[in-house]
């Protein structure tokens, strides 16, 4: 059971971070956009 | 010279904290025994700074708000701490804490976390030293103290709906501004963030008996939360609330969970521990009214502790809660009393329909520009709806209440009216808290464990937020210390690590490490990324303030390079050209802090100036004359119409009632200054 939670959890974590950092629809950009723009990633 | 000034402000800050800690220690050591050096410093400073705030308020109420009287207050405290030897004890505690700092860098993980915290602290220090340009400090946190000092008294301010709020933080700003130390005001709020971080660390060490690594992780998660970083560089009072709320919860943990069997640390059940909880909860109310929620939660927890956990019966529980409420009330009562005496309503202007209050009418109570208006679809005087915000920004119940953690993380701008506060939670809370909760369920974590208590407090706080304050995410900033601890626990659970130091009294014993290593690595990597990015991004954000912090730019030079240059120039023009006796009506977001003249705000309390949009302009002219107004400063002229104060022909370049004197005719400017004819 813990293993299943861990795998699902991993997917969830990666999804949240991916959306937060890179999803165009996200408005969370103030945190990372200056750096990401600097790095040419956004 | 400017650099020396900044360094001097840092020294003053340190001295003030030490003086507060030394005097607070006099009370704390009667209420709590067996505290560590760091705990003594934190509890002492919380009590001491709260006492200083109340002392400044007392001087202000007695019309003695001047540098001499304030120096006498400080001198008295210095004398007391010297005579009782508490200053020496506090310096010894500080030395002991400093002596332990190198241990943080003894292993790579703790060194990395400590470095992130240090980077965040250094970056926010640079930002905090910058001259204030944010809305709330300019419109009231710093503007009111300046008004008080001009009057030599903490006169009631009834032309702003924030005028009679608890102002313990503002009293410290008043102390700083009385001696012309503007930079110290920013540093005071910055230091509250750092102290809150230290409180998270101490809470983990004591309450959870966590190791260095876990405690630093929770501290770093809290301190690098974008919301906390952005608050740290602004002279607000939100981090004061975080500090006091956290220390009150900490005191409750100490009271509720005596660590029997930990004689090695010299810990025993706290004598008078409940009094300390009450003192801190009362002082928290002095920071911000939302402390009523943390206070209510603590009252609930105190009752629960006595009634259910210790099974000492309803009578005992009632007495404990009543004792807590009485002590907290005693420490908080100055603020509602001040509001009641001035306005007839102890929480003016809130609850107008029940308690009444000066300068409001039933219609006005629904029109005030505050969160409730935003939440419940209220409107401007001319009928325009407020922009939907926070929970109210959701399109339906599901969008609003069920997925708010997602929205508050991914769309933080919806939860804040000022763009800067769009800096939200960061991704760690959303990514890890649901998993931590799930793992807790799967592993049947002991619901009476210290960690569960942290979770219960945070859960209750978020519930209160959702019910009453859900239009702004910064209103749950006080739950972030506890949430950060839960995130750290989730990280450890996902990595299959035990975080309790030693075995005694542990709630999460060493766990089987059956989880794939890859999960642990990914989690650790992403946590490091978030914490590091938070700190690094803050450093990036404040880079423009670095020349000022290093003494290479004056206030005017710094502000003239930013977006506040126009308003600042307008106010400096007013300072240079308006007569010393001028009284200025400030309208539509015109901030009074930099203005060196008497003033009042036009729009924040509808009944104070009144609404004259549909009345003869001569009536308004008479009203302004009655108020002693000689000039009008209008920021954001496009806002004028929907506030309903001015008849359409009242403000004019050269009209019947006013003449525009800034900027010169033909020059466009967002801030305009008019002379009343």
Q: Given strand B583-587, what is the order of strands in its sheet? A: B598-601, B583-587, B631-635, B671-676, B658-662
Give the model confidence (pLDDT) of B553-565 as tens digits.
999 999 999 889 9
Of B283-292, B514-523, B529-538, the least confident: B514-523
Q: CA–CA separation, B109 vs B116, rounded Å?
A: 11
B391 versus B202: which is more confidently predicted? Answer: B202
Question: What is the average pLDDT across B109-115?
Answer: 94
Do residue A16 and residue B522 have CB atoms under 8 angstroms apart? Answer: no
- Closest Cβ opposite residue A30 in set B422, B523, B530: B422
The nearest CA of chain A is from the CA of B494 a distance in Å of 7
Residue with more model confidence, B427 or B385: B427
Query: Where is pLDDT greater, at B404 or B46?
Result: B46
**What's the whole-number mean pLDDT along residues B220-241?**
94
Return the closest-CA partner of residue B608 out of B356, B359, B353, B384. Answer: B359
- Identify whether the C-beta of residue B593 lies closer than 8 Å to the C-beta of residue B579: no
Residues of chain A with pLDDT > 70: what percent? 48
Predicted pLDDT at B478: 94
**Digit-coded pLDDT (tens) for B55-75:** 999 999 999 999 999 999 999
Q: List % helix, strand, coil for chain B (3-state, nearest 5).
A: 65, 5, 30
Secondary structure E strands in B450-587:
583-587
Q: What is the pLDDT of residues B348-401, one digit of tens each?
A: 888 777 888 888 765 555 444 444 444 444 444 455 555 555 665 655 666 667
Tell me what ipTM this predicted complex has: 0.81
Closest Cα partner for B118 from B194, B218, B20?
A: B194
Report the run of H or E that residue B261 belongs to, with start and end: none
Give residue B628's pLDDT: 96
* Residue B500, φ and ψ in degrees, nearest 5: -80, 135
> What's the pLDDT at B393?
60
Q: How high is the pLDDT of residue A3?
A: 74
B427, A9: Cβ pair inside 8 Å?
A: no
The per-residue pLDDT for B129 is 96
Nearest-CB residue to A27 (from B411, B439, B519): B411
Nearest-angstrom CA–CA distance, B230 and B127: 9
Name the token pair of B335: 């603020």
Cβ within 8 Å, pair A13-B537: no
Instruction: Verify whether the Cβ–Cβ distance A30 to B434 is below 8 Å.
Output: no
Cross-chain residue pair B226–A30, CB shorter than 8 Å: yes
Instruction: Answer whether A12 sits within 8 Å of B434, measured CB to CB.
Output: yes
User: At residue B331, does pLDDT exceed 80?
Assistant: yes
Check if A7 contacts B (Cβ < 8 Å).
yes
pLDDT at residue A38 greater than cutoff 80: no
pLDDT of residue B297: 98
pLDDT value for B658: 94
Among chain A residues, CA nearest to B422: A30
Q: Is some CB atom of chain B closer than 8 A to the CB atom of A2?
A: yes
Cα B270 to the center of its chain, rounded Å: 28
Q: Which two tokens stand for residue B464?
A: 């209160």
Give the confidence band of A39 by pLDDT, cuts at 50, 70, 90: low
Query: A35, B434: Cβ pair inside 8 Å?
Result: no
Report how far residue B235's alpha carbon sits from residue B223's, in angstroms, rounded to the nearest whole number.
17
**B435, closest residue in chain A (CA to CA):** A9
Q: How do B631-635 and B583-587 pair as beta strands?
A: parallel
Which residue in the set A10, A16, A27 is minimally distant from B412, CB to CB?
A: A27
Mutation choice for B interface testing from A13, A14, A15, A29 by most B CBs within 10 A: A13
What is d(CA B151, CA B64) in angstroms, rounded to the nearest whole number?
A: 10
Per-residue pLDDT tens digits for B461-488: 999 988 877 777 788 899 999 999 999 9
Instruction: Compute the mean pLDDT over every residue in chain B, rounded to the nearest whole number.
Output: 87
Q: Which helix (H) or strand (E) holds B350?
A: none
- Say whether A23 and B516 touch across the interface (CB within 8 A): no
Q: Reply yes or no on whether the pLDDT at A26 is more than 70.
A: no
pLDDT reported for residue B353? 74
Chain B residues interacting with chain A (CB cutoff of 8 angstroms): 226, 409-414, 422-424, 426-427, 430-432, 434-435, 438-439, 442-443, 494, 514-516, 518-519, 522-523, 526, 529-530, 533-534, 536-537, 540-541
- The whole-number pLDDT of residue B399 equals 62
- pLDDT number for residue B501: 62
Instruction: Please name the residue of chain B whose CA is at the shortest distance from the CA of residue A18.
Output: B427
Q: Can you say whether the dihedral through the CA atoms of B201, B206, B208, B214 is positive or negative?
A: positive
Tell me the range of A23-27, B260-264, B357-361 where mean pLDDT is highest: B357-361
Which residues of chain B lie closer than 8 angstroms to A27, CB-CB?
410-414, 422
Residue B109 φ then ψ, to 5°: -65, -50
- Whether residue B32 is predicted with pLDDT greater than 90 in this model: the reply is no
Cβ of A19 within 8 Å of Cβ of B410? The answer is yes
Q: Using CA atoms, how far apart are residues B523 and B102, in angstroms rounded to an integer?
A: 27
Chain B contact for A28 (CB, 8 A cutoff): yes
* Cβ B485 vs Cβ B203: under 8 Å: yes
- Which of B411, B426, B431 is the closest to A13 by Cβ? B431
CA A25 to chain B, closest CA, distance in angstroms equals 9
Single out the residue of B602, B224, B611 nearest to residue B424, CA to CA: B224
Which residues on A lie below 8 Å from B534 (Cβ)?
Answer: 31
Pick the range with the lowest mean pLDDT from B342-351, B532-541, B543-552, B650-659: B532-541
For residues B161 and B607, is the Cβ–Cβ distance under 8 A?
Answer: no
Cβ-proximal residues to B100 (8 Å cutoff; 6+ apart), any chain: none
CB B252 within 8 A of CB B245: no
The end-to-end CA distance of chain A, in Å, is: 38
Inter-chain Cβ pairs, chain A and chain B, closer than 8 A: 92
Burial class (CB in 10 A: 0-12, 13-18, 19+), B448: exposed
The answer to whether the beta carbons of residues B220 and B481 sit under 8 Å apart is no
Which chain B residues are closer than 8 Å to A2 by Cβ? Answer: 439, 442-443, 514-515
Cis peptide before B663 (omega within 30 of 0): yes
The predicted model scores a pTM of: 0.92
Which pairs with CB-CB distance under 8 Å and at least 24 residues apart come from A31-35?
A31/B226, A31/B423, A31/B424, A31/B426, A31/B533, A31/B534, A31/B537, A32/B533, A32/B537, A34/B537, A34/B540, A34/B541, A35/B533, A35/B536, A35/B537, A35/B540
Do the Cβ atoms of A28 and B412 come within 8 Å? yes
| Element housing B673 (H / E) | strand B671-676
Would the pLDDT of B443 be above 50? yes
How many other CB atoms are found less than 10 A from the CB of residue B443?
A: 14
Nearest CA in chain B to A20: B410
> What's residue B341's pLDDT?
96
Asked if A3 and B541 come within 8 Å (Cβ–Cβ), the reply is: no
Chain A residue whose CA is closest to B413: A27
H/E segment holding residue B581: none
The number of angstroms, rounded, from the C-alpha of B447 to the middle of its chain's C-alpha atoms is 31
| Residue B505: predicted pLDDT | 36
Q: Å from B308 to nearest chain A CA?
A: 32
CB B190 within 8 A of CB B232: yes
Is the confidence at residue B268, as pLDDT, over 50?
Answer: no
């Amino acid at each position: 059971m813990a293993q299943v939670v861990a795998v699902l959890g991993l997917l969830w974590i990666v999804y949240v971070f991916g959306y937060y950092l890179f999803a165009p629809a996200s408005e969370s950009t103030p945190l990372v956009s200056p750096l990401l723009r600097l790095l040419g990633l956004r | 010279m400017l650099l020396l000034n900044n360094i001097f402000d840092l020294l003053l800050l340190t001295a003030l904290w030490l003086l507060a800690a030394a005097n607070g220690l006099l009370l704390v050591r009667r209420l709590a025994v067996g505290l560590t050096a760091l705990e003594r410093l934190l509890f002492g400073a919380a009590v001491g700074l709260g006492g200083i705030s109340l002392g400044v308020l007392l001087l202000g109420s007695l019309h003695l708000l001047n540098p001499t009287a304030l120096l006498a207050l400080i001198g008295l405290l210095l004398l007391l701490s010297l005579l009782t030897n508490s200053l020496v004890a506090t310096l010894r505690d500080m030395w002991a804490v400093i002596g332990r700092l190198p241990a943080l860098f003894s292993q790579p993980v703790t060194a990395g976390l400590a470095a992130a915290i240090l980077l965040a602290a250094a970056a926010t220090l640079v930002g905090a030293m910058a001259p204030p340009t944010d809305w709330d400090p300019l419109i009231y946190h710093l503007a009111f103290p300046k008004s008080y000092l001009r009057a030599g008294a903490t006169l009631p301010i009834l032309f702003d709906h924030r005028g009679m709020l608890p102002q313990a933080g503002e009293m410290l700003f008043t102390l700083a501004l009385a001696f012309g130390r503007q930079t110290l005001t920013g540093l005071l709020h910055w230091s509250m963030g750092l102290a809150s971080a230290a409180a998270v660390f101490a809470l983990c060490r004591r309450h959870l008996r966590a190791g260095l690594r876990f405690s630093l992780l929770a501290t770093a998660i809290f301190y690098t939360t974008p919301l906390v970083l952005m608050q740290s560089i602004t002279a607000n009072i939100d981090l004061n609330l975080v500090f006091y709320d956290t220390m009150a919860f900490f005191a409750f943990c100490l009271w509720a969970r005596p660590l029997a069997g930990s004689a090695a640390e010299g810990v025993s059940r706290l004598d008078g521990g409940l009094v300390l909880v009450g003192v801190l909860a009362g002082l928290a109310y002095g920071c911000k009214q939302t402390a009523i929620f943390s206070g209510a939660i603590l009252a609930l927890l105190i009752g629960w502790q006595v009634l259910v956990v210790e099974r000492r019966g309803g009578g005992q529980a009632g007495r404990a809660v009543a004792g807590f409420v009485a002590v907290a009330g005693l420490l908080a009562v100055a603020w509602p009393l001040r509001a009641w005496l001035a306005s007839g309503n102890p929480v003016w202007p809130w609850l107008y329909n029940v308690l009444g209050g000066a300068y409001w009418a039933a219609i006005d109570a629904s029109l005030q520009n505050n969160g409730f208006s935003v939440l419940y679809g209220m409107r401007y005087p001319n009928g325009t709806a407020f922009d939907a915000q926070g929970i109210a920004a959701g399109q339906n119940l599901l969008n609003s209440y069920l997925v708010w953690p997602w929205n508050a993380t991914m769309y933080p701008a919806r939860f804040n009216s000022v763009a800067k506060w769009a800096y939200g939670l960061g991704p760690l809370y959303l990514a890890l808290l649901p998993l931590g909760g799930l793992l807790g369920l799967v592993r049947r974590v002991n619901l009476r464990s210290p960690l569960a208590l942290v979770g219960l407090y945070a859960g209750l706080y978020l519930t209160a937020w959702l019910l009453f304050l859900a239009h702004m995410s910064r209103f749950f900033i006080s739950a972030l210390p506890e949430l950060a601890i839960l995130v750290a626990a989730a990280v450890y659970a996902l990595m299959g690590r035990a975080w309790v130091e030693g075995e005694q009294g542990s709630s999460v014993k060493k766990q089987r490490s059956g989880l794939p290593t890859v999960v642990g690595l990914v989690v650790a990597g992403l946590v490091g990324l978030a914490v590091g990015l938070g700190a690094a991004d803050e450093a990036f954000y404040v880079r423009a303030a670095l020349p000022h912090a290093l003494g290479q730019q004056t206030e005017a030079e710094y502000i003239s390079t930013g977006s506040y240059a126009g308003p600042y120039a307008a106010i400096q023009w007013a300072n240079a050209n308006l007569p010393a006796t001028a009284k200025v009506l400030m309208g539509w977001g015109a901030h009074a802090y930099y203005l060196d003249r008497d003033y009042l705000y036009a729009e924040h309390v509808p009944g104070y100036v009144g609404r004259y949009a549909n009345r003869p302009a001569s009536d308004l002219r008479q009203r302004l004359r009655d108020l002693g107004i000689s000039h009008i400063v209008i920021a954001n002229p496009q806002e004028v119409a929907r506030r309903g104060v001015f008849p359409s022909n009242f403000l004019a370049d050269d009209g019947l009632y006013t003449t525009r004197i800034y900027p010169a005719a033909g020059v466009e400017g967002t801030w305009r200054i008019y002379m009343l004819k």
